[in-house]
Amino acid sequence: MTEQFVLFPDPPPPDLVRTLDLSGYAWTATNTATDLSDVEPDSGWTGAIVSADADPEKAWAICRELRKRDVPVEPLLLLVNGSQLEELQARDELFDDFMISPFHPRELEARLRHLLWRVGRGVRPDVIEYGPLSLNLETYQAQVSGHPLDLTFMEYELLKFLASHPGKVFTRETLLNRVWGYEYYGGARTVDVHVRRLRAKLGEEHAHMIQTLRSVGYKLGQSRW
């Protein structure tokens, strides 16, 4: 069955359309929820993605309409900008998850897979665990000793790559190519900066999970637990 999402607004954000098209999701865009029944597929809507950046009040109205249907459209993913975060807590009944724009395509794909699993339309999300470290591959969330880590997308990708190959040493050039996906002259400093930030976010107790092998590179090794 083709996954068919409802999008708001019409036309939807180009980066959202591009990601959905490349991921194989079908979609229908609308500026009003009242006419959705006329174009609804026989199997029903897979879910909804509402972008609240340009017209937040209309976006919230669309969310309410989708929620109060005889068969509510779910899951509902909300796209917001950083200045709108304070509004979310008072309206959390109107959406299932949110993302901050601009988003990374791989994060959007992961969030959608996780949301579909939650409503019984997908497979259980994969999790990488190493000692106190846990990374949810579907939601791009990471925890250490049960405490969430506030990571950027590339910090998460680097930590995921190292945790997927525990004990194996990677040169900076290999990490740059395997994690960032390109080779860049002088780019090894990018790896060093991200490792330093990861260690700071892991905290003093777990910073040594990422070990430096002088003149070689980095590996994810034993932490002091």
Write down the pLDDT at residue 169.
92
Give the residue-averaged pLDDT of 127-140: 86
Whether 105 contacts 22, CB under 8 Å = yes
CB 33 within 8 A of CB 65: yes
Which tokens hold the place of 205?
């107790």
138 and 103 belong to one structural domain: no
- Structure confidence at residue 20 (pLDDT): 94
CATH code for the domain in which residue 211 is found: 1.10.10.10
Q: Are residues 8 and 113 in the same domain?
A: yes
User: Which residue among 118, 149, 164 closes a domain?
Assistant: 118
Flag whether 62 is in a domain: yes
What tokens were used for 106? 């791989």
Q: Which of 91, 118, 145 is the last residue of a domain?
A: 118
Dist. CA 34–CA 156, nearest whole Å: 40
Confidence of residue 104 (pLDDT cuts 50, 70, 90): confident
* Chain-centre distance for alpha carbon 62: 23
90 and 10 housed in the same domain: yes
159 assigned to some structural domain: yes
What residue numbers bound the domain in which 79 lies? 4-118
Q: What is the pLDDT of residue 124?
A: 58
| pLDDT the model gives residue 214 | 86
Distance CA 164, CA 153 (A): 16
Give the containing element (helix H, strand E) for 26. strand 26-29
Tokens at 93, concatenated = 């009944």
Q: What's the CATH code of the domain at 50?
A: 3.40.50.2300
CA-to-CA distance for 224 and 122, rounded, in angstroms? 37
pLDDT surpassing 70 at residue 191: yes
Question: Tell me: the pLDDT tens digits for 147-183?
Answer: 889 888 889 999 999 998 888 999 988 898 888 876 5
Predicted TM-score (pTM) of this structure: 0.57
The last residue of a domain, from among 96, 118, 140: 118
Nearest to 9 by CA among 20, 17, 1: 17
pLDDT confidence of residue 223: 38
More confident residue, 109 or 223: 109
Residues 141 and 108 in one domain: no
Work out how many domains the chain is built from and give that number. Answer: 2
| Arithmetic mean of pLDDT, 28-35 | 83
Compute how many other C-beta atoms are within 10 angstroms of the C-beta atom of residue 216.
11
Residues 155, 214 within the same domain? yes
Q: 107 or 34: whose pLDDT is higher?
A: 107
- Would the pLDDT of 190 be above 90? no
> How high is the pLDDT of residue 2?
65
Percentages helix, strand, coil for the chain (3-state, rounded to 5) are 40, 20, 40
CA 177, 165, 99, 108 torsion-angle sign: positive
53 and 144 together in one domain: no
* CA–CA separation, 129 and 137 (whole Å): 11
Q: Do 104 and 8 fall into the same domain?
A: yes
Average pLDDT over residues 67-73: 85
Terminal Cα distance for the chain, rounded: 46
- Which tokens belong to 171? 């040169």
The pLDDT, as a whole number, for residue 161 is 92
Q: What is the pLDDT of residue 200?
A: 95
178 and 203 inside one domain: yes
Place 197 in a pLDDT band, splitting at 50, 70 and 90: very high
- Residue 78: inside a domain: yes
